[in-house]
A and B are shown apart, each in its own frame.
Chain A
């Protein structure tokens, strides 16, 4: 059978370390999908001064790179990028397009899916190909505790966004070779209607939570702002950081920046303490990298307790206080 209509495309978002990482993570999964479909894994990278990135994508597993390098593409602007992506997709008919769920990626993917009149599943946590050659996209659904498997049976390309940290990138291999097509800027490209007057790089977001070896996370079961504060003391004793679930953030027990999960940060502490957290998927999506979990919950049946290596069936705040006392004793020496 013709190879057209079997390829997997990944949008190459190279702007900084984190955005580039999600591209590399998508390449790792994209390789498996392309193999299952019998197609190529292709990276589409738009922008300016792309040489380094093109090499990196080849080293991380791309079978082909489509590169469009032009000074007018230096700044990421979604109207223009959408036009370019859509025209190329119409011309070359990829079967699957994967985009990292950065702010820009979400905009681009949504616009492109609309133009291509196809489906787009946001924040997939798993991607596979079934025996009908359809992309099976697993994403959290129904406001909390369920995962849904979604297919896009009658529309092409099948599109998905994936949050950074969902997949593992492959080790690079700078010996790898792959064809690179340098594409010209299409003639008659309409000027962007949205004029970028100024773009300032903000200081990099603090990564304290992402890098902490110990994280102490509190949920609704901490019951009050006053009690929630005890987690600070525990975190201090353990040399860790405090994190929170959405209800704790909404109740203003903890700051926005401490939210962990789908809508917040992805953490990978060596030890995670989880106090009064039920374990909704949107939250646990952010803690999949934690190898050792201690959970405290009144309800032994809570998902968080079942994910834990050690579960304490107890009051969250009482346990926090007891741990602080015990640690102080043991740390006294």
Chain B
């Protein structure tokens, strides 16, 4: 997504203009005398993409662990998370999280067209939807605990809490980022020319959502 900004003085705009149009490949000699990024993708965005690539393996490892252990009750035959799932509840909170991707897109769109107020509203909405999801997770964890599924029960419950917990931490960090953006915007420091910052945070946010689709499917929907 390119930043369509009317302020040619910003460095973002320079980057976009100067960059050769072929991403992923090197530029022809002499073509980038203006020193834009060689790939045409800004450094920050490229870094975020790489980070997310790395994150795929992190969640891949955790999901594999869960798949391996999901029915292991341990020697004492204690309860496992599958026994106490409340799938309608989790479906609703998953829906809330997915909707937050929509509001994230709206936040970026608003900022890109210079609508600071709209950006602020949608940023706040995104983080609040994220907050609802986290609240739901906290509620889910506590109710599971009450029903006798503790972290230390058996491999299945350890793997469940580790996987969903890691995801929850990721969402929480995303909320911190969104709120930081919100505060910056409130102070007038987040303007149209910074839309790429919002876009990069958005990449992270969408990634966290997409990962949840996988996790939700693997944990809650695929039968044991």
Bound together: no
Query: Which residues in A have some Cβ–Cβ distance to B below 8 Å?
Result: none
